[in-house]
Amino acid sequence: MFLEIHPDEAQFLNTVRKFVSEEVLPNTREWERNAAFPDEIWPRLGELGLLSICLSKENGGLGASCNAYCQVIKEVAKGDPALAMNLSAINALCLAHFDHFATPEQCAKYLPGVIKGEIKMAWGLTEPDAGSDARRVKTMATPIEGRPGYYHLNGQKMFITNGGKADLIVIVARVSDTELTAFFLETNQEGFTIEKRINTVGVSASNTVQFRLKNAVAWHTPCKFEEAIGLLYRGRLGIAGMAVGIAEKAFELTLDYAKQREQFNRRLADMQSVQNMIADSAVEIEAANLLLSNGAKLYDMGFPAIKESSFAKLYASETANRVTNRAIQIHGGRGMTQEFLVEKLWRDAKLTEIGEGCSEIQRLVIAKQVLR
Ligand SMILES: Cc1cc2nc3c(=O)[nH]c(=O)nc-3n(C[C@H](O)[C@H](O)[C@H](O)COP(=O)(O)OP(=O)(O)OC[C@H]3O[C@@H](n4cnc5c(N)ncnc54)[C@H](O)[C@@H]3O)c2cc1C
Protein backbone atom coordinates (compact mmCIF):
# COMPACT_ATOMS: atom_id res chain seq x y z
CA MET A 1 0.00 0.00 0.00
CA PHE A 2 1.22 3.53 -0.81
CA LEU A 3 2.10 5.32 2.37
CA GLU A 4 2.76 9.03 2.57
CA ILE A 5 5.22 9.59 5.35
CA HIS A 6 7.79 12.28 6.16
CA PRO A 7 11.37 11.19 5.20
CA ASP A 8 12.58 11.48 8.84
CA GLU A 9 9.69 9.31 9.95
CA ALA A 10 10.39 6.81 7.16
CA GLN A 11 13.95 6.50 8.49
CA PHE A 12 12.59 5.95 12.02
CA LEU A 13 10.21 3.30 10.67
CA ASN A 14 13.13 1.47 9.02
CA THR A 15 15.02 1.47 12.32
CA VAL A 16 11.93 0.03 14.02
CA ARG A 17 11.61 -2.70 11.35
CA LYS A 18 15.24 -3.72 11.93
CA PHE A 19 14.74 -3.76 15.71
CA VAL A 20 11.61 -5.89 15.32
CA SER A 21 13.20 -8.44 13.01
CA GLU A 22 16.44 -8.75 15.01
CA GLU A 23 15.42 -8.19 18.64
CA VAL A 24 11.66 -8.68 18.95
CA LEU A 25 10.34 -11.45 16.70
CA PRO A 26 13.09 -13.95 17.66
CA ASN A 27 12.11 -13.51 21.35
CA THR A 28 8.33 -13.36 21.17
CA ARG A 29 7.78 -17.00 22.21
CA GLU A 30 10.18 -16.73 25.12
CA TRP A 31 8.57 -13.51 26.36
CA GLU A 32 5.20 -15.22 26.21
CA ARG A 33 6.51 -18.28 28.08
CA ASN A 34 8.00 -16.03 30.77
CA ALA A 35 4.87 -13.84 30.74
CA ALA A 36 7.26 -10.89 30.88
CA PHE A 37 9.60 -8.73 28.85
CA PRO A 38 13.21 -8.71 29.99
CA ASP A 39 14.17 -5.65 32.07
CA GLU A 40 16.81 -4.69 29.50
CA ILE A 41 14.11 -3.95 26.97
CA TRP A 42 13.12 -0.67 28.64
CA PRO A 43 16.38 1.27 28.13
CA ARG A 44 16.57 -0.17 24.61
CA LEU A 45 13.04 1.07 23.83
CA GLY A 46 14.06 4.45 25.21
CA GLU A 47 17.22 4.56 23.14
CA LEU A 48 15.21 3.85 19.98
CA GLY A 49 12.70 6.63 20.73
CA LEU A 50 9.85 4.18 21.18
CA LEU A 51 9.01 5.64 24.60
CA SER A 52 8.53 9.15 23.21
CA ILE A 53 7.00 8.67 19.75
CA CYS A 54 3.95 10.82 20.35
CA LEU A 55 5.37 13.13 22.98
CA SER A 56 5.70 16.72 21.72
CA LYS A 57 9.16 18.05 20.82
CA GLU A 58 8.69 20.81 23.46
CA ASN A 59 8.50 18.06 26.08
CA GLY A 60 11.56 16.26 24.71
CA GLY A 61 9.75 13.70 22.54
CA LEU A 62 9.92 12.83 18.85
CA GLY A 63 6.66 14.66 18.13
CA ALA A 64 5.87 12.10 15.42
CA SER A 65 2.66 12.28 13.42
CA CYS A 66 -0.22 10.02 14.32
CA ASN A 67 0.25 8.35 10.94
CA ALA A 68 3.88 7.48 11.76
CA TYR A 69 2.90 6.40 15.27
CA CYS A 70 0.30 3.94 13.92
CA GLN A 71 2.78 2.53 11.41
CA VAL A 72 5.33 2.01 14.20
CA ILE A 73 2.77 0.18 16.36
CA LYS A 74 1.86 -1.95 13.33
CA GLU A 75 5.50 -2.91 12.75
CA VAL A 76 6.07 -3.78 16.41
CA ALA A 77 2.89 -5.92 16.44
CA LYS A 78 4.34 -8.02 13.62
CA GLY A 79 7.10 -9.02 16.02
CA ASP A 80 5.27 -9.06 19.35
CA PRO A 81 1.67 -7.85 19.80
CA ALA A 82 2.05 -7.56 23.59
CA LEU A 83 4.92 -5.11 23.14
CA ALA A 84 2.87 -3.14 20.61
CA MET A 85 0.02 -2.97 23.14
CA ASN A 86 2.37 -1.64 25.83
CA LEU A 87 3.85 0.96 23.51
CA SER A 88 0.38 2.00 22.45
CA ALA A 89 -0.80 2.55 26.04
CA ILE A 90 2.41 4.37 27.00
CA ASN A 91 2.53 6.65 23.96
CA ALA A 92 -1.07 7.45 23.13
CA LEU A 93 -2.40 7.52 26.70
CA CYS A 94 0.38 8.13 29.25
CA LEU A 95 2.61 10.47 27.23
CA ALA A 96 -0.36 12.28 25.76
CA HIS A 97 -1.52 12.80 29.34
CA PHE A 98 1.77 14.64 30.00
CA ASP A 99 1.42 16.78 26.87
CA HIS A 100 -2.17 17.76 27.63
CA PHE A 101 -2.53 17.93 31.40
CA ALA A 102 0.76 17.76 33.32
CA THR A 103 2.22 20.87 34.94
CA PRO A 104 5.80 21.94 34.03
CA GLU A 105 6.88 20.68 37.48
CA GLN A 106 5.40 17.23 36.80
CA CYS A 107 6.99 17.10 33.34
CA ALA A 108 10.38 18.05 34.77
CA LYS A 109 10.16 15.44 37.52
CA TYR A 110 9.11 12.45 35.45
CA LEU A 111 9.59 12.87 31.71
CA PRO A 112 13.38 12.53 31.45
CA GLY A 113 13.13 9.12 33.18
CA VAL A 114 10.04 8.03 31.23
CA ILE A 115 11.67 8.79 27.86
CA LYS A 116 14.77 6.77 28.79
CA GLY A 117 12.79 3.79 30.08
CA GLU A 118 13.94 4.36 33.66
CA ILE A 119 10.39 5.20 34.78
CA LYS A 120 7.94 2.65 33.38
CA MET A 121 4.33 3.73 32.91
CA ALA A 122 0.78 2.39 32.80
CA TRP A 123 -2.69 3.89 32.37
CA GLY A 124 -5.38 2.98 34.89
CA LEU A 125 -9.04 3.51 34.15
CA THR A 126 -10.74 0.08 34.34
CA GLU A 127 -12.07 -1.27 37.65
CA PRO A 128 -13.97 -4.42 38.58
CA ASP A 129 -17.28 -2.51 38.29
CA ALA A 130 -16.22 0.01 35.64
CA GLY A 131 -15.30 -1.46 32.24
CA SER A 132 -17.22 -0.31 29.17
CA ASP A 133 -19.18 1.95 31.52
CA ALA A 134 -16.09 3.91 32.47
CA ARG A 135 -18.03 6.61 34.30
CA ARG A 136 -18.75 4.09 37.06
CA VAL A 137 -15.20 4.46 38.40
CA LYS A 138 -15.37 4.19 42.21
CA THR A 139 -11.75 4.99 43.13
CA MET A 140 -12.12 8.01 45.38
CA ALA A 141 -9.69 10.91 45.61
CA THR A 142 -9.62 13.16 48.69
CA PRO A 143 -7.36 16.21 48.99
CA ILE A 144 -4.51 15.91 51.49
CA GLU A 145 -4.59 18.79 53.90
CA GLY A 146 -1.54 21.04 53.75
CA ARG A 147 -0.27 19.50 50.48
CA PRO A 148 -1.89 21.39 47.58
CA GLY A 149 -2.26 19.25 44.45
CA TYR A 150 -1.89 15.96 46.37
CA TYR A 151 -4.71 13.51 47.09
CA HIS A 152 -5.27 10.20 48.84
CA LEU A 153 -6.67 7.55 46.50
CA ASN A 154 -8.75 4.61 47.69
CA GLY A 155 -10.07 1.95 45.33
CA GLN A 156 -9.18 -0.88 43.00
CA LYS A 157 -8.04 -1.03 39.36
CA MET A 158 -8.03 -4.07 37.14
CA PHE A 159 -6.70 -5.15 33.71
CA ILE A 160 -3.92 -2.56 33.79
CA THR A 161 -1.35 -3.23 31.06
CA ASN A 162 2.21 -3.08 32.39
CA GLY A 163 0.74 -2.48 35.84
CA GLY A 164 3.02 -5.13 37.33
CA LYS A 165 6.13 -3.29 36.18
CA ALA A 166 5.02 0.33 36.25
CA ASP A 167 6.74 2.92 38.43
CA LEU A 168 4.22 5.60 37.56
CA ILE A 169 0.53 5.16 36.71
CA VAL A 170 -2.03 7.60 35.38
CA ILE A 171 -5.11 6.95 37.52
CA VAL A 172 -8.64 8.08 36.71
CA ALA A 173 -10.51 8.70 39.97
CA ARG A 174 -13.59 10.38 41.39
CA VAL A 175 -13.45 13.63 43.39
CA SER A 176 -17.23 13.88 43.95
CA ASP A 177 -20.47 12.11 43.01
CA THR A 178 -20.40 13.76 39.60
CA GLU A 179 -16.78 14.70 38.93
CA LEU A 180 -13.89 12.52 37.78
CA THR A 181 -10.33 13.56 36.98
CA ALA A 182 -6.82 12.03 36.75
CA PHE A 183 -3.65 11.73 38.83
CA PHE A 184 -0.05 10.57 38.67
CA LEU A 185 0.59 7.78 41.15
CA GLU A 186 4.06 6.49 42.04
CA THR A 187 3.85 2.77 42.74
CA ASN A 188 6.75 2.65 45.18
CA GLN A 189 4.63 3.40 48.24
CA GLU A 190 2.78 1.52 50.95
CA GLY A 191 -0.69 2.46 49.70
CA PHE A 192 -0.17 0.60 46.40
CA THR A 193 -0.59 -3.20 46.43
CA ILE A 194 -0.71 -5.55 43.47
CA GLU A 195 -3.54 -7.98 44.26
CA LYS A 196 -3.04 -10.33 41.36
CA ARG A 197 -1.39 -10.90 38.05
CA ILE A 198 -4.10 -11.45 35.43
CA ASN A 199 -3.25 -14.32 33.09
CA THR A 200 -4.79 -13.69 29.69
CA VAL A 201 -5.26 -15.93 26.67
CA GLY A 202 -2.99 -13.70 24.54
CA VAL A 203 -0.59 -10.74 24.98
CA SER A 204 0.66 -12.38 28.17
CA ALA A 205 4.04 -10.66 28.26
CA SER A 206 2.34 -7.35 28.91
CA ASN A 207 2.07 -7.87 32.66
CA THR A 208 -1.62 -7.11 33.20
CA VAL A 209 -2.57 -6.76 36.86
CA GLN A 210 -5.21 -5.85 39.37
CA PHE A 211 -4.15 -3.51 42.17
CA ARG A 212 -5.56 -1.84 45.26
CA LEU A 213 -5.06 1.72 46.44
CA LYS A 214 -5.32 2.39 50.17
CA ASN A 215 -4.64 6.00 51.08
CA ALA A 216 -2.14 6.02 48.22
CA VAL A 217 -0.65 9.45 47.62
CA ALA A 218 -1.20 10.82 44.11
CA TRP A 219 -0.45 14.10 42.33
CA HIS A 220 -3.36 15.77 40.57
CA THR A 221 -3.11 16.46 36.82
CA PRO A 222 -5.93 18.96 36.35
CA CYS A 223 -8.33 17.66 33.68
CA LYS A 224 -11.95 16.71 33.23
CA PHE A 225 -12.99 13.10 32.80
CA GLU A 226 -14.04 13.68 29.15
CA GLU A 227 -10.64 15.22 28.39
CA ALA A 228 -8.70 12.33 29.91
CA ILE A 229 -10.88 9.80 28.10
CA GLY A 230 -10.62 11.82 24.86
CA LEU A 231 -7.05 10.49 24.55
CA LEU A 232 -8.62 7.15 23.64
CA TYR A 233 -9.41 8.45 20.13
CA ARG A 234 -5.74 8.37 19.16
CA GLY A 235 -5.32 5.33 21.42
CA ARG A 236 -7.85 3.41 19.35
CA LEU A 237 -5.91 4.19 16.19
CA GLY A 238 -2.87 2.61 17.85
CA ILE A 239 -4.87 -0.53 18.66
CA ALA A 240 -6.07 -0.56 15.05
CA GLY A 241 -2.40 -0.41 13.99
CA MET A 242 -1.66 -3.33 16.31
CA ALA A 243 -4.54 -5.30 14.74
CA VAL A 244 -3.34 -4.62 11.19
CA GLY A 245 0.20 -5.67 12.16
CA ILE A 246 -1.11 -8.98 13.55
CA ALA A 247 -3.23 -9.56 10.44
CA GLU A 248 -0.36 -8.75 8.04
CA LYS A 249 2.04 -11.07 9.85
CA ALA A 250 -0.45 -13.97 9.90
CA PHE A 251 -1.19 -13.36 6.22
CA GLU A 252 2.51 -13.31 5.26
CA LEU A 253 3.11 -16.61 7.11
CA THR A 254 0.03 -18.14 5.51
CA LEU A 255 1.09 -17.24 1.97
CA ASP A 256 4.49 -18.89 2.55
CA TYR A 257 2.87 -22.00 3.97
CA ALA A 258 0.20 -22.30 1.25
CA LYS A 259 2.89 -22.08 -1.42
CA GLN A 260 4.97 -24.94 -0.02
CA ARG A 261 2.48 -27.42 1.47
CA GLU A 262 1.15 -30.02 -1.01
CA GLN A 263 -1.90 -32.30 -0.76
CA PHE A 264 -3.64 -34.17 -3.60
CA ASN A 265 -0.53 -33.52 -5.72
CA ARG A 266 -0.92 -29.74 -5.69
CA ARG A 267 -0.03 -26.81 -3.49
CA LEU A 268 -2.63 -25.49 -1.05
CA ALA A 269 -2.16 -22.19 -2.86
CA ASP A 270 -3.55 -23.78 -6.03
CA MET A 271 -6.80 -24.88 -4.38
CA GLN A 272 -9.69 -22.55 -5.03
CA SER A 273 -11.20 -22.67 -1.55
CA VAL A 274 -7.82 -21.74 -0.05
CA GLN A 275 -7.48 -18.97 -2.63
CA ASN A 276 -10.88 -17.65 -1.56
CA MET A 277 -9.70 -17.38 2.05
CA ILE A 278 -6.50 -15.69 0.90
CA ALA A 279 -8.41 -13.23 -1.29
CA ASP A 280 -10.82 -12.35 1.53
CA SER A 281 -7.92 -11.71 3.90
CA ALA A 282 -6.07 -9.60 1.32
CA VAL A 283 -9.09 -7.33 0.74
CA GLU A 284 -9.83 -6.96 4.43
CA ILE A 285 -6.22 -6.09 5.29
CA GLU A 286 -6.18 -3.46 2.54
CA ALA A 287 -9.47 -1.96 3.79
CA ALA A 288 -8.23 -1.96 7.40
CA ASN A 289 -5.03 -0.18 6.30
CA LEU A 290 -7.03 2.46 4.46
CA LEU A 291 -9.32 3.11 7.45
CA LEU A 292 -6.27 3.31 9.70
CA SER A 293 -4.44 5.73 7.47
CA ASN A 294 -7.60 7.84 6.99
CA GLY A 295 -8.17 8.11 10.76
CA ALA A 296 -4.52 8.94 11.43
CA LYS A 297 -4.36 11.57 8.70
CA LEU A 298 -7.54 13.28 9.94
CA TYR A 299 -6.06 13.30 13.44
CA ASP A 300 -2.86 14.85 12.06
CA MET A 301 -4.95 17.52 10.32
CA GLY A 302 -6.33 18.52 13.73
CA PHE A 303 -9.72 16.77 13.61
CA PRO A 304 -10.74 14.69 16.63
CA ALA A 305 -11.38 11.71 14.28
CA ILE A 306 -13.84 10.23 16.79
CA LYS A 307 -15.88 8.30 14.24
CA GLU A 308 -12.87 7.46 12.07
CA SER A 309 -10.81 6.06 14.95
CA SER A 310 -13.75 3.80 15.85
CA PHE A 311 -14.12 2.81 12.16
CA ALA A 312 -10.45 1.82 12.10
CA LYS A 313 -10.41 0.05 15.46
CA LEU A 314 -13.64 -1.87 14.86
CA TYR A 315 -12.78 -3.01 11.35
CA ALA A 316 -9.07 -3.69 11.92
CA SER A 317 -9.67 -5.70 15.10
CA GLU A 318 -12.37 -7.84 13.53
CA THR A 319 -10.13 -8.26 10.47
CA ALA A 320 -7.23 -9.43 12.66
CA ASN A 321 -9.51 -12.05 14.23
CA ARG A 322 -10.85 -13.28 10.88
CA VAL A 323 -7.43 -13.31 9.19
CA THR A 324 -5.70 -15.19 12.02
CA ASN A 325 -8.59 -17.66 12.14
CA ARG A 326 -8.22 -18.32 8.40
CA ALA A 327 -4.44 -18.53 8.87
CA ILE A 328 -4.89 -21.44 11.27
CA GLN A 329 -7.43 -23.06 8.93
CA ILE A 330 -4.95 -22.95 6.04
CA HIS A 331 -2.16 -24.33 8.24
CA GLY A 332 -4.47 -27.22 9.20
CA GLY A 333 -3.47 -29.20 12.31
CA ARG A 334 -0.04 -27.59 12.36
CA GLY A 335 -1.73 -24.22 12.74
CA MET A 336 -2.91 -25.29 16.19
CA THR A 337 0.58 -26.17 17.35
CA GLN A 338 3.16 -23.92 18.95
CA GLU A 339 5.55 -24.78 16.14
CA PHE A 340 3.78 -22.14 14.04
CA LEU A 341 3.30 -18.54 15.05
CA VAL A 342 -0.24 -18.25 13.69
CA GLU A 343 -1.79 -19.79 16.81
CA LYS A 344 -0.16 -17.09 18.97
CA LEU A 345 -1.24 -14.33 16.62
CA TRP A 346 -4.81 -15.69 16.75
CA ARG A 347 -4.76 -15.53 20.56
CA ASP A 348 -3.12 -12.11 20.63
CA ALA A 349 -5.65 -10.74 18.12
CA LYS A 350 -8.53 -11.17 20.59
CA LEU A 351 -7.35 -8.28 22.76
CA THR A 352 -7.83 -5.83 19.89
CA GLU A 353 -11.61 -6.48 19.94
CA ILE A 354 -11.79 -5.75 23.67
CA GLY A 355 -9.11 -3.29 24.88
CA GLU A 356 -9.72 0.49 24.65
CA GLY A 357 -13.42 -0.14 24.06
CA CYS A 358 -14.89 -3.42 22.86
CA SER A 359 -16.40 -3.71 19.36
CA GLU A 360 -19.91 -3.09 20.70
CA ILE A 361 -18.77 0.23 22.18
CA GLN A 362 -17.10 1.19 18.87
CA ARG A 363 -20.44 0.52 17.13
CA LEU A 364 -22.23 2.72 19.70
CA VAL A 365 -19.71 5.54 19.11
CA ILE A 366 -20.14 5.26 15.34
CA ALA A 367 -23.94 5.14 15.54
CA LYS A 368 -24.00 8.20 17.82
CA GLN A 369 -21.79 10.13 15.39
CA VAL A 370 -23.71 9.22 12.24
CA LEU A 371 -27.14 9.77 13.86
CA ARG A 372 -26.29 13.29 15.10
C1 LIG B 1 -5.25 -7.68 28.23
C2 LIG B 1 -6.01 -6.45 28.61
C3 LIG B 1 -5.34 -5.26 28.84
C4 LIG B 1 -6.03 -4.12 29.25
N5 LIG B 1 -5.32 -2.97 29.54
C6 LIG B 1 -5.97 -1.92 30.12
C7 LIG B 1 -5.22 -0.78 30.58
O8 LIG B 1 -4.00 -0.69 30.43
N9 LIG B 1 -5.89 0.20 31.23
C10 LIG B 1 -7.24 0.17 31.45
O11 LIG B 1 -7.77 1.10 32.05
N12 LIG B 1 -7.97 -0.90 31.00
C13 LIG B 1 -7.38 -1.94 30.35
N14 LIG B 1 -8.09 -3.03 29.91
C15 LIG B 1 -9.53 -3.07 30.15
C16 LIG B 1 -10.37 -2.97 28.88
O17 LIG B 1 -10.35 -1.66 28.39
C18 LIG B 1 -11.78 -3.47 29.25
O19 LIG B 1 -11.67 -4.87 29.43
C20 LIG B 1 -12.80 -3.15 28.19
O21 LIG B 1 -13.04 -1.76 28.14
C22 LIG B 1 -14.14 -3.87 28.45
O23 LIG B 1 -14.54 -3.74 29.78
P24 LIG B 1 -14.94 -5.04 30.63
O25 LIG B 1 -13.87 -6.04 30.44
O26 LIG B 1 -15.27 -4.63 31.99
O27 LIG B 1 -16.22 -5.61 29.91
P28 LIG B 1 -17.74 -5.17 30.18
O29 LIG B 1 -17.85 -3.71 30.20
O30 LIG B 1 -18.27 -5.94 31.33
O31 LIG B 1 -18.44 -5.70 28.86
C32 LIG B 1 -18.55 -7.09 28.56
C33 LIG B 1 -19.20 -7.24 27.21
O34 LIG B 1 -20.53 -6.74 27.27
C35 LIG B 1 -20.87 -6.10 26.06
N36 LIG B 1 -21.24 -4.70 26.33
C37 LIG B 1 -20.84 -3.92 27.37
N38 LIG B 1 -21.41 -2.71 27.29
C39 LIG B 1 -22.18 -2.72 26.19
C40 LIG B 1 -23.05 -1.77 25.57
N41 LIG B 1 -23.24 -0.54 26.09
N42 LIG B 1 -23.70 -2.13 24.45
C43 LIG B 1 -23.53 -3.37 23.92
N44 LIG B 1 -22.74 -4.31 24.46
C45 LIG B 1 -22.07 -4.00 25.57
C46 LIG B 1 -19.66 -6.24 25.14
O47 LIG B 1 -19.78 -7.38 24.35
C48 LIG B 1 -18.52 -6.41 26.12
O49 LIG B 1 -17.40 -7.07 25.54
C50 LIG B 1 -7.43 -4.17 29.42
C51 LIG B 1 -8.12 -5.37 29.16
C52 LIG B 1 -7.43 -6.49 28.77
C53 LIG B 1 -8.19 -7.76 28.52
- Please report, as a single letter, which amino acid is at residue 200: T
* Torsional sign, CA 173, 175, 180, 182: negative
pLDDT value of residue 2: 47
User: Do residues 295 and 222 lie in contact, with contact meaning Cβ atoms separated by under 8 Å?
Assistant: no
CATH class belonging to 121-226: mainly beta
Nearest CA to ligand 1 atom 37: 132
226 is catalytic: no
CA 264, CA 289: separation in Å to the nearest integer? 35
Dist. CA 106 → ligand 1 center (Å):
30
Q: pLDDT of 336-361, one tens digit each?
A: 999 999 999 999 999 999 999 999 99
Nearest CA to ligand 1 atom 41: 361
- Determine the Cα angle at 70 with ends 65 and 73, to 5°: 125
Q: DSSP string covering 106-165, please?
A: HHHHHHHHHHHTSS-EEEE--BTTBSSSGGG---EEEEPTTSTTEEEEEEEEEEETTTTT
List the chain domain ranges.
7-116, 121-226, 228-370
Q: Which one from 186, 248, 353, 356 is the annotated catalytic residue?
A: 356
Dist. CA 6 → ligand 1 center (Å):
35
C-alpha separations of 322 from 170, 281, 316, 333, 363 in Å = 33, 8, 10, 18, 18
pLDDT by 10s per residue, the chain, length 372:
445 678 889 999 999 999 999 999 999 999 999 999 999 999 999 999 999 999 999 999 999 999 999 999 999 999 999 999 999 999 999 999 999 999 999 999 999 999 999 999 999 999 999 999 999 999 999 999 999 999 999 999 999 999 999 999 999 999 999 999 999 999 999 999 999 999 999 999 999 999 999 999 999 999 999 999 999 999 999 999 999 999 999 999 999 999 999 999 999 999 999 999 999 999 999 999 999 999 999 999 999 999 999 999 999 999 999 999 999 999 999 999 999 999 999 999 999 999 999 999 999 999 999 999
**Helix residue spans in the chain (DSSP H):** 7-19, 28-34, 41-48, 66-79, 81-88, 96-101, 104-116, 225-230, 232-260, 272-300, 306-331, 342-352, 359-370
Neighbours of 14 (CB within 10 A): 11
Dist. CA 48 → ligand 1 center (Å):
31
Please give the mean pLDDT across all residues of the chain. Answer: 97
Atom of ligand 1 nearest to the CA of 163: 8
CATH class belonging to 228-370: mainly alpha
- Please report, as a single letter, which amino acid is at residue 331: H
- Torsion, Cα 342 343 348 352, to 10 degrees, reads 70
- Please report, as a single letter, which amino acid is at residue 182: A
CA 106, CA 111: separation in Å to the nearest integer? 8
Give 120's Cβ-side CA count (13 Å radius).
23
Which neighbouring-strand residues pair with 122? 169
Dist. CA 134 → ligand 1 center (Å):
9
Atom of ligand 1 nearest to the CA of 157: 11
Q: pLDDT of 16-60, one tens digit each?
A: 999 999 999 999 999 999 999 999 999 999 999 999 999 999 999
Dist. CA 359 → ligand 1 center (Å):
9
Q: pLDDT of 287-298, one tens digit each?
A: 999 999 999 999
CATH class belonging to 7-116: mainly alpha
Nearest CA to ligand 1 atom 14: 159
* pTM higher than 0.95: yes
Residues touching ligand 1 (Cβ under 6 Å) are 89, 122-126, 131-132, 159-161, 200, 203, 208, 351, 354-358, 360, 364
